[in-house]
Amino acid sequence: SAVISQKPSRDICQRGTSLTIQCQVDSQVTMMFWYRQQPGQSLTLIATANQGSEATYESGFVIDKFPISRPNLTFSTLTVSNMSPEDSSIYLCSVDLGPDQETQYFGPGTRLLVL
């Protein structure tokens, strides 16, 4: 497994502002993922972040709203831009440790409330 940390753990923001969430892993990983978990809903993949290339976004998510950086193999950021109350959610990063590991491992999440 891997030790994954996220910052901030929670935040309350005003509509129209932006928040950048950081994800740090204690080992080098090729694939990192960003998910959203809205109340009463399933975890939904926002995008896949690979080092050295642009993030790949899922249907319904766009780069202008959720820009992602992946500067190295242990770190990634997700920005939630021009926030509205509908963006209130838990944002989680996960990592895939490679073909010898069984699955993705998740960070603790960032709880975001937009007023």
Partner 1 sequence: EDQVTQSPEALRLQEGESSSLNCSYTVSGLRGLFWYRQDPGKGPEFLFTLYSAGEEKEKERLKATLTKKESFLHITAPKPEDSATYLCAVSGGGSEKLVFGKGTKLTVNP
CA distances from 29 to 8, 51, 78 (A): 21, 9, 17
Q: Using the rule CB under 8 A, is 78 a contact of partner 1? A: no
Q: How far is the CB of 16 from partner 1 (least distance, A)?
A: 27
The residue among 42 and 53 lying less far from partner 1, judged by its C-beta, is 42
Q: Using the rule CB under 8 A, is 111 a contact of partner 1? A: yes
Q: Using the rule CB under 8 A, is 51 a contact of partner 1? A: no
- Which residue in 20, 28, 44, 72 binds partner 1 (CB under 8 A)? 44
Residue numbers at the binding site for partner 1 (CB under 8 A): 1, 4, 31, 33, 40-45, 48, 58, 92, 94, 96, 102-109, 111
